[in-house]
Amino acid sequence: MGRDSTWCNYDAAARRLSLTLHVQPNARRSDIAGLHGEALKVRIAAPAADNKANAELIEFLSKTLEVSRSAIAIRRGATSRRKVVEITGGPELVARLEALVASRITTHESRITPST
């Protein structure tokens, strides 16, 4: 993925992927919808009330990216649609995300930027 991404950053030294997400609760099904401004839009099939959407977001990312739920943390925006999520994992995590996003986004903006 390319150099100008603001929604995704992988820190190889810390083995951590940071994602800026725009979360849409109450969707028919949980899925990645594409880019929404400078964030990756994720639809979640759970209401925003009582932390249900956040729990479903973590479950969805866990299954989609094949990581444990404990490897995923919402770092900012727990009560907002705009969230920063950190996921612990190796380069294979980045490869899975790249493949997933490439199937939904065709612009050059969908690139992961390695941190320096």
Q: Which domains does the chain have, with CATH numbers?
A: 8-114 (3.30.1200.10)
Report the distance separating Cα 96 and Cα 32, nearest Å.
13
Secondary structure (3-state) at 99:
helix
pLDDT attached to residue 94: 86
Report the Cα 26 to chain-centroid distance in Å.
17
Task: Decide the pairing of beta strands 16-24 and 39-43.
Answer: parallel
Residue 110: band (very low, low, confident or very high) from pLDDT cuts 50, 70, 90: very low
**Chain position carrying tokens 């959407």:** 53
pTM, 2 dp:
0.84
Q: How confident is the model at residue 104 (pLDDT cuts 50, 70, 90)?
A: confident
pLDDT band, very low/low/confident/very high, at 14 (cuts 50, 70, 90) = very high
Q: Does residue 111 surpass a pLDDT of 90?
A: no
Report whether pLDDT(3) > 80: no
